[in-house]
Amino acid sequence: MFYRCKSCGGNVTYNPDKKKMICESCGNEGEPELISQDKKHVCNNCGAEIEADQIDLSLKCPYCGTYVIFEDRMENEYEPNLVLPFAIDKHKALDLLKEKFAKQLFLPGNFCSSSTIESMEGLYVPFWMYDLHTHVHFEGEADKIRTWEEGDYDCTETSTYRIVRDFDVDYDKIPVDASKAMPDAMMDLVEPYKYEALGEFDAKFLSGFQAEIYDEDKDTLFPRAKKKADKYSQKYLGGYNVEYDAVRPTVNDKKSTEKASFYSFLPLWRYVYRYGGKNYEFYVNGQTGKAVGEAPTSLSKALVWFIAVFGSLFFTVEMLLYLLGVM
């Protein structure tokens, strides 16, 4: 399916800046016409058959440029629950990426240049979001240490206590990306999102962006959600024990149970920069603008800097020796 402008017939996509559907051709902001899927994986705008991977949900028709959404891939167990719409557009995302890496030494000159902006694409990444109930039970010994001076002596008093902590924590919407193609470490780094903006899924938000269905189910990913909950719980536990100088745990159990799970889509800008025969991937949170990635080093810039610095140093030493009459 796709969204067609009632005014000119152009493709209507979601605009993150204005937070509404806008026609790409004439700029009309009126309610678009939803053109439902006629034949599976055939563009209803130009009639071309679209080649797509099995996990593709939304993509741009390579023939007419219309953003097509595959309706049949949003049914049954693949029916999405929640979506967090894009809040920043491509140009803003690129500016934030430039700002993030602008101060890095020896950055290649065409990094984030206008010639490479087309490689930046907006993606809705599939996530499982979990509501968890966690019970934490902790036992151990803790020391409080007091030091003072008494005459010529340095005195130390150590008081040891037995401590027990037992509490429950409820977590809402712990996110875990459900795409094998997305690097888990990067998806964790680009968090957090402003989850209060989550809403019921509406396919209109996909128009103008690429999207994939999940290829990792919620049971497979539950251990990752539990690991995140354990990390948060450990922080709470550390807050309870902060008054002690040393803590030695004997029992540190954390048991999490799933209360609910939600198949969701979160927004992400991806920029692929090719340098020295290698692809460097960067990610920008499509809502908060947080940018992550590892930029390459321009060897030519580094060499010029090396020659300039050490050439200047050599000239300075040579002049000094000349003035001292050594040369």
pLDDT tens digits, 35-44: 887 777 788 7
Q: Is the pLDDT of residue 136 over 70?
A: yes
Degrees to nearest 5, angle at CA 258 with 253 and 259: 125
Bridge partners, residue 284, by sequence: 269, 291
User: How many C-beta atoms surround the C-beta of residue 237 within 10 A?
Assistant: 19
Between 40 and 310, residue with greater pLDDT: 40
State residue 43's pLDDT score.
Answer: 81
Task: Give the largest CA-CA distance in the chain.
Answer: 94
Nearest of 52, 260, 275 to residue 174 by alpha carbon? 260
| pTM exceeding the 0.75 threshold for the entire prediction | yes
Please name the helix (run of DSSP H) or strand (run of DSSP E) that holds residue 224, with its range, or none.
helix 218-240
Residue 156 has pLDDT above 90, yes or no: yes
Domain extents for the chain? 2-128+173-213+264-296, 129-172+218-262, 297-326
SS3 label, residue 178: coil
pLDDT of residue 305: 42
Determine the residue type at 43. Answer: C
Query: What is the C-alpha separation between 281 and 121, in angstroms, rounded?
Result: 11
Q: 295 pLDDT exceeds 70?
A: yes
